[in-house]
Amino acid sequence: MGPYSLHKRSEYGKGSAFKAALIQAVADRTPMGNITDAAARAEIQRVTFTAPEAEVPVVDDVAGNLPVAEGLLTPYRMRVAGILPLPLPGSAVCISI
């Protein structure tokens, strides 16, 4: 595996699942603290990463999923580059975008 991997599972009429993995170096191995109590877990779950310059293409065959994707990107200050409801002329169009 290189510095990243991307896997897709798709079943017609049921949907698709995507899994991405990125290799990331450890900058500091100092423990961050106790994550067993609820307050610590809530602190860890707070959004600390943003990418305001990121533009993410979104493609889905269910129009109702597209606003959900926008909502999921909002806390990270990412913009949707284009919301494309399917069907498109083919998967090559999606990849070229």
What pTM does this model have? 0.43
SS (H, E, C) 19-59: EEEECCCCCCCCCCCCCCCHHHHHHHHCCCCCCCCCEEEEE
pLDDT of residue 24: 80
pLDDT tens sequence across 28-48: 888 776 666 666 566 556 667
For residues 54 and 48, the model is more confident at: 54
Q: Is the pLDDT of residue 76 over 80?
A: yes
pLDDT of residue 84: 60
Q: Is the pLDDT of residue 56 over 60?
A: yes
